[in-house]
Amino acid sequence: MIPPLRRNGTLPPGVHRATLSELLSAFPPINQQRQILNDSVQHAVEELYKLDPTLVIFVDGSYVTKKAEPNDVDLLIISPTYSVLALVTYLDRICPVEAVSLDGNVESSLPSVIFDLFTETRRGQSKGIIELVR
């Protein structure tokens, strides 16, 4: 379940588990940019799970804030099998239009430096992250 955003527009600290459907409902397509990002994250996540249903996928960035027009969707994918190059190449081939709207990062396990970066604002304040569940 995705909790309400804080006054500063970010998720409360912690890992918030949600389905893809819950993610898309929590951040509805209120404008064309949000619609593009919702379509992109939906297609990409569905394709990633087809490739490997054991992937752990976290969603972050301005997409999961109150920002009306976020630039992209940040994904952190935990996979001991695939490198960032392999997954980016896969996404570029399977969903080239959507891949432009995504910023993908791959780590082999947690904890990771990128996970730590994703759970802090640029000002060093703790914030939440969404872990997709199936």
**Domains of the chain and any CATH numbers:** 14-132 (3.30.460)
pLDDT (mean) for 38-62: 95
Residue 98 has pLDDT above 80, yes or no: no
Closest CA to 78 of 109, 41, 44: 109
Dist. CA 39–CA 98, nearest whole Å: 8
Helical pair 32-51 and 84-94, crossing angle rounded to 10 deg:
120
Residue 97 has pLDDT above 80, yes or no: no
pLDDT (mean) for 82-109: 86
Dist. CA 90–CA 92, nearest whole Å: 5
Helix (H, G, I), strand (E, B), or coil: what is residue 108? Answer: coil
pLDDT (mean) for 51-77: 95
Dist. CA 10–CA 102, nearest whole Å: 19
Q: How confident is the model at residue 122 (pLDDT cuts 50, 70, 90)?
A: confident
